[in-house]
Amino acid sequence: MRFGKSAWMAALMAALVLCAGTAGAASAYRTAGGKCLDKEYYTDCEQEPTGGQMMWDALVMRPIGMVGTVLGTAVWLVSYPFAALGGNTDQATEKLVVAPFDWTFQRPLGEF
């Protein structure tokens, strides 16, 4: 019975992540004939983040980003000797450590 409940919860969480991710991406930009409707605060077609987007970011996406940063750093530590031999340590550091760190800690809340 326990396995059934945990499998159900995992499926429910996966469905929520997929639905919320696509809903957030679909509502991120509004255009009319290729021209942006909201240019008051943001440039191009960007909108000011809603409270729901900020909550989703703070409660779900930032913790995922923290895990990604830790995992990327662990992979970077293992792969660094190979990157050094291949001569691409800067690229490996950028993609595995800096990019996840910036996405998690440097971007404004609610912007994806």
- Whole-angstrom distance, CA of residue 69 vs CA of residue 54: 20
pLDDT band at 58 (very low <50, low <70, confident <90, very high): very high
Do 30 and 42 touch, CB atoms closer than 8 A? no
Q: Do 44 and 55 fall within a single domain?
A: no
Q: How many domains are there within the chain?
A: 2
Stronger pLDDT, 83 or 26, i.e. the higher one: 83
Q: Do 25 and 59 fall within a single domain?
A: no
Q: Do 34 and 58 fall within a single domain?
A: no
- What does the pLDDT average to over 88-95? 97
Helix/strand/coil (H/E/C) assignment for every residue in 52-101: HHHHHHHHHHHHHHHHHHHHHHHHHHHHHHHHHHHCCHHHHHHHHHHHHH
The per-residue pLDDT for range 16-53, each reduced to its tens digit, is: 665 555 444 444 444 444 455 555 555 556 678 999 99
**Domain assignment of residue 7, given as a range:** 1-48
What residues are paired with 36 via a beta bridge? 31
Q: Do 73 and 112 fall within a single domain?
A: yes
Stronger pLDDT, 36 or 84, i.e. the higher one: 84
